[in-house]
Amino acid sequence: MDALYHLRIDSPVGPLLISGTTTHITAVSFTDNPEDVFHEAPPLLLECAQQLFEYFAGDRKSFDLPLSQPGSEFQHRVWDQLLKIPYGQTITYLQLAKRINNVKSIRAVGTTNGKNAIAIIVPCHRVVGANGVLTGYAGGLWRKRWLLDHEGGDLFKGMR
């Protein structure tokens, strides 16, 4: 089993904690803990940090990183669909449920969206409530709004 490493970086939406092994990114999470400072990180975590810096600078619209987060087959189907939402677009929870061919799973889709451990890279912030209403976000709604504004997104663009 690979060792787990952590790297804390500053970003426009506050400090981010990147976690991973030498082969996979396992989490990108928001942190307010100033003690989350780590000194050694493998090249993959440094590459992840670089790609996030490029995203925040407006120079990157998609990520090219090996990802791994534990979850059920259902959760992985939802997270895989999140990766297909284009930069600057949003979809609703109902549309996400339809994309996995299970319209009755809308609540489970919402719960799974909230359990996504790889914020920003697996763009759960691009999922909104009906009619573009911003709903819960693990990092706080202000961060979700910031990320959507940063992407220049029309809340209704992908929902038509």
Quote the pLDDT of residue 131: 80
pLDDT, position 126: 95
Residues 44-58 have pLDDT tens digits of 999 999 999 999 999
112: helix, strand or coil: helix
Residue 32: what pLDDT?
Answer: 79
The phi-psi region of residue 60 (left if phi > 0; otherwise alpha if psi is between -120 and 50; otherwise beta) is beta
What are the residues facing 6 on neighbouring strands? Answer: 19
The radius of gyration of the chain's CA atoms, rounded to the nearest angstrom, is: 15
Name the DSSP letter for residue 85. Answer: S
> Residue 41, by phi and psi: left (phi above 0), alpha (psi -120 to 50) or beta?
beta
Query: What pLDDT is stored for residue 160 in this prediction?
Result: 45
At 157, list the tokens. Answer: 């663009």
pTM: 0.90
Which residue numbers in the chain have pLDDT < 70?
1, 34-39, 153-160
Annotated active-site positions, please? 124
Q: What is the DSSP letter of 67?
A: B
- Helix axis angle for 106-114 and 73-82, nearest 10°, is 80
The answer to whether the beta carbons of residues 42 and 60 sit under 8 Å apart is no
Beta strand pairing call for 91-92 and 25-30: unpaired
